[in-house]
Amino acid sequence: SFQGIYKYLERCFSDFKQRGFVVGYDTRGQVTSNCSSKKLAKLTAAVLLAKDVPVYFFSTYVPTPFVPYAVQQLKAVAGVMITASHNRKEDNGYKVYWENGAQITAPHDKEIIKCIEECVEPWNGSWNENLVDTSPLRQDPLKKICDCYMEDLKKICYHRELNEQTNLKFVHTSFHGVGHDYVQAAFKAFGFQPPIPVPEQKDPDPDFSTVKCPNPEEGESVLELSLRLAEKESAKVVVATDPDADRLAVAEQQENGRWKVFTGNELAALFGWWMFSCWKENRSEDADVKNVYMLATTVSSKILRAIALKEGFHFEETLPGFKWIGSRVKDLLDNGKEVLFAFEESIGFMCGTSVLDKDGVSAAVVIAEMAAYLEHKNLTLAQKLIEIYETYGYHISKTSYFLCYDPPTIKRIFEKLRNFDTPQCYPSFCGIYNILHVRDVTTGYDSSQPNKKSVLPVSKSSQMITFTFQNGCVATLRTSGTEPKIKYYAEMCALPEQSDRTVLEEELQQLIEALIANFLEPDKNGLIWRSA
């Protein structure tokens, strides 16, 4: 399949052979099929080297964000990262990054698939994975990229003296993946003592033997080992990077000894507050808040919108998936704007703009600096989160999913919403809850726009409908791009004066129950509930 990518790049870039291509990989290994990420990476590199294209091939596994970072630093035409991120151990896959350092979006993805379909016969020499070890066109960018990355990281370090003095201890788990060395180096770059690693999970293990699934989003159940170690070491904060280190989970021990595992949306509230405060304290005289941006995907919390409205900077939404954020941020930067932070609710964060993709390594050390700063003020992350909600309005969200292995059923569920009581008509109520607006990104419809057209690009290949309710709740139903799931996202966005959290939580819960019963009808449609 990689030959197709080569063919497309050759078409796009006349200077392909001068500028070269970046190849990175994680630590996955398919013991059964003898097909590891590294082997796939070597085959990928061989296709290019056989065609006399210079290849920057990392000599060891790296975090996913290192590939887009290297593409920009080395001015390569593109890059590929062989990874299946946090999917099951049986999976593998790859991500392609364009010359701008962002993941590819339309039209490149469609064009590449077309080229892949035209190139099914393997070319001569392209199965010779040893080319990587013998070709003079292969360079190892590891040291240069690692050094540059850590240097660039210091641009978002604002309290080095506090970091050097803090008594706060941190535990880091790398979930049997690539993160350990890089997170250690990042803490060092910020002046911290190294975080305490979880010994059983610090080294790469393609079988992920100590977790039932290698996805830190699953919360406390998969963080078991790191929380127990933190208790033993009296470390108050645990940071967890997923196997390819582009996402971050965080837990903090509370006064009562219990652990709070933050959701992606809660962490975003903290990051948004922090990155803006740091910008404000360090800005130059002529820096204009109207030039400042933060971004989120449309299924993520709207907390940044609330902060932006009150503080005067801009907030923008994109389609789900960090590739949309990456390419939009690149546009903004090219137009002289300053982007401080962007996120997606599935614990993907981009602090600063050195990497135009989500990055768990930088996010981990920024959270550590924030925790050290707050501790100095006798506050915890959880207490600060409540302060943020009280200032900007509570944003309480819940995200979950149903499994459905029958594509026609999924299609039927969404078609019913488009023809609810009468043909061509979306629902105006969900149980007792009045619906103000409907946006359907699959068809490009948006009832809140004067011309009824969605501002976000139409995305015909996947299902996604968003309902805005009279009571301030926003809920989205969508299909997953990579798994047989119907996901739902719901959030109560309250104004600062509505500060009764319990009331808001109950209302959200009841609305979700109505959404499931009326719109998804799990029993009738044979949907499998997510095992709690």
DSSP 101-168: SSB--TTHHHHHHHHHHH--SPPTTTT-TTHHHH-TTEE--HHHHHHHHHHHHGGG---HHHHHH---
Q: Looking at residue 531, what is its pLDDT?
A: 66
Parallel/antiparallel/unpaired status of strands 338-344 and 292-297: parallel
User: Residue 494 pLDDT > 80, yes or no?
Assistant: yes
Mean local confidence (pLDDT), 446-454: 96
Beta-bridge partners for 474: 468, 491
**Residue bearing tokens 């809140």:** 448
Using DSSP's 3-state secondary structure scheme, residue 307 falls into helix
Q: What is the CATH T-level fold of the domain 148-157+165-260, as seen in this structure?
A: Alpha-D-Glucose-1,6-Bisphosphate; Chain A, domain 3 (3.40.120)
Q: What is the pLDDT of residue 213?
A: 86
- Report in angstroms the alpha-carbon separations of 197 from 66, 98, 177, 204, 273: 21, 34, 12, 13, 28
Other CB atoms within a 10 A radius of the CB of residue 422 amount to 6
Lowest-confidence pick of 214-223, 292-301, 338-347, 396-405: 214-223
Residue 140 in tokens: 């190892």
- In the chain, ranges of CATH 3.40.120.10 domains: 1-147, 148-157+165-260, 265-373
Res. 379 pLDDT band, cuts 50 70 90:
very high
- Residue 406 corresponds to which tokens in the numbers above? 């029958």
Q: What is 1-147's CATH superfamily?
A: Alpha-D-Glucose-1,6-Bisphosphate, subunit A, domain 3 (3.40.120.10)
Distance from C-alpha of 366 to C-alpha of 239, rounded to nearest angstrom: 11
> Pick the residue with more confidence: 31 or 283?
283
Query: One-letter amino acid identity for 494?
Result: A
Residue 122 is predicted with a pLDDT of: 64
Establish whether the linkage from the previous residue to 107 is cis, with ω within 30° of 0.
yes
Phi, psi of 261 (to 5 degrees): -95, 120
Least confident window among 19-33, 271-285, 377-391, 426-440: 19-33
Whether 117 shows a pLDDT value over 70: the answer reads no
- Give yes or no for residue 339 having a pLDDT over 60: yes
The CATH label, of 3.30.470.30, 3.90.1170.40, 3.30.310.50, 3.90.1170.50, for the domain at 393-529 is 3.30.310.50
CATH topology for the 265-373 domain: Alpha-D-Glucose-1,6-Bisphosphate; Chain A, domain 3 (3.40.120)
Supply φ then ψ for residue 29, to 5 degrees: -145, 130
In the predicted model, is pLDDT for residue 323 greater than 60? Answer: yes
Q: How confident is the model at residue 30 (pLDDT cuts 50, 70, 90)?
A: low
DSSP H/E element including 373: helix 360-376
Checking phi first, is residue 139 left (phi over 0); if not, alpha (psi -120 to 50) or beta? beta
Q: Is 460 exposed, middle or buried (0-12, 13-18, 19+ CB in 10 A)?
A: exposed
Going by the DSSP 8-state scheme, the letter that residue 33 receives in this structure is T
Q: How confident is the model at residue 178 (pLDDT cuts 50, 70, 90)?
A: very high
Taking Cα atoms as reference points, which of 43, 58, 51 lies closest to residue 17? 51
3-state secondary structure 255-304: CCCCEEECCHHHHHHHHHHHHHHHHHHHCCCCCCHHHEEEEEECCCCCHH
Residue 465 to residue 459: CA distance in whole angstroms: 11
Identify the band that residue 499 occupies on the pLDDT scale cut at 50, 70 and 90.
confident
- CA nearest 342: which of 330, 446, 174? 330
Distances in Å between the Cα of 158 and the Cα atoms of 163, 171, 276, 365, 379 are 9, 22, 12, 11, 18
Active site residues: 85
pLDDT for residue 532:
46
Local confidence band at 478 (pLDDT 50, 70, 90 cut-offs): very high
> Between these two residues, 104 and 175, which has the higher pLDDT value?
175
Q: What is the pLDDT of residue 448?
A: 96
Confidence bin at 119 (pLDDT 50/70/90): low
Query: What predicted TM-score, i.e. pTM, was given to this entire model?
Result: 0.94
SS3 at position 437? strand
Q: Does residue 44 carry a pLDDT above 80? A: yes
Q: What's the rounded mean pLDDT across residues 219-224?
A: 92
Residue 96 contacts residue 5 (beta carbons within 8 Å): yes
Range list for CATH 3.30.310.50 in the chain: 393-529
SS3 content of the chain, % helix, strand, coil (to 5): 40, 20, 40
Confidence of residue 37 (pLDDT cuts 50, 70, 90): confident
Q: How many CB atoms lie within 10 A of CB 312?
A: 10
**Which range has the worst mean pLDDT, 48-52, 124-128, 429-433, 463-467?**
124-128
Residue 109's pLDDT band, with cuts at 50, 70 and 90, is confident
As a whole number of angstroms, the distance between CA 158 and CA 277 comes to 11
Residue 484 CB: number of other CB atoms within 10 A?
15
Residue 372's H or E segment, with its range, is: helix 360-376
pLDDT at 404: 95
Decide: helix, strand or coil at residue 171.
strand
- pLDDT (tens digit per residue) in 231-240: 999 999 999 9
